[in-house]
Amino acid sequence: MANRPVFSPGLKGSALVIRVDVEFNWFAGMAVSQKQKSIRSLHEAAAQRNLAHVLEISSKSESRLGVSLSAFNLQLQTESGIKCPVENAYQSSKVFNNGGPYQDLLKMKPWEAKKDPRLASSGDFAGFEYGGHRWPTKPVTAFYDWLYLNALHQNPTISGQLLQYEGFTDIEFNPERSLNCQASSAALFVALSKRGELNSALSSREGFLERLSIGVSKTQADLF
């Protein structure tokens, strides 16, 4: 058995993203077929928790939409005019005590950018620099969410399809080891879109950070 979160858009109250942890049967193995068995098992378990229309967002998704929304595939035009996957924009913006940001990561393959040895050998992580602005390290997912939501906003044909889903998963995301999650970011996008707040939230870095600070996530205990 395994446990993974399903992220749903918060359409009422203060919470913008609602996380529900779901237990399901895990199928071991690195093959895509095994990952997809686990995804199906997770979604079946989620349906039993009244989360019936869920989209897997990852390169392992059985949905073309889910694959296209992976941070390794979703394209973002940066403030410098370069078009690249969200993952590249994120990794290339990291600043450390002894180096960064490493702008050449924008032009690498996304998996190469994520594993670039400089990201592990440049000292303590100090924050992000993007578009001439420094981003704080807290809220911890704010900068990643900012990039992902801007990429969705730039790709309305893709992002418009998100509005029909009740929840989102990422089979590769383990909350015990990771912080950022593209499924959570997708839920945030839907929440802001359906509340009519997306444009105002993305109008400035300061406005976005302020909106996130009052849109804290609910836990599973808050729901049931």
Local structure of 168: helix, strand or coil:
strand
pLDDT given at position 80: 87
Q: What are phi and psi of 134, to 5 degrees?
A: -90, 140
Looking at residue 136, what is its pLDDT? Answer: 85
pLDDT at 26: 94
Q: Give the C-alpha separation, 119 to 29, whole Å.
A: 28
Position 222 scores a pLDDT of: 37
Report pLDDT for 95.
Answer: 97
Residue 223, pLDDT score? 34
Burial of residue 178, with CB atoms counted within 10 A of its CB: 0-12 exposed, 13-18 middle, 19 or more buried:
exposed
Place of tokens 């990643």: 144
Q: What residue ranges of the chain have pLDDT lower than 50?
A: 216-224
Q: Report pLDDT for 214.
A: 65
Q: Where are the domains of the chain?
A: 1-224
Q: For residue 215, what pLDDT is reported? A: 57
Predicted local confidence at residue 224, as pLDDT: 28
pLDDT in tens, 96-128: 999 999 999 999 999 999 999 999 999 999 999
Q: With H, G, I as helix, E, B as strand and everything else as coil, classify residue 173.
A: coil
- pLDDT, residue 30, reads 87
Q: What is the pLDDT of residue 78?
A: 93
Q: What's the pLDDT at 219?
A: 39
Structure tokens at 121: 């050998």
Task: Round to whole Å and give the CA distance between 106 and 43.
Answer: 34
Answer yes or no: are the C-beta atoms of 94 and 119 closer than 8 Å.
yes
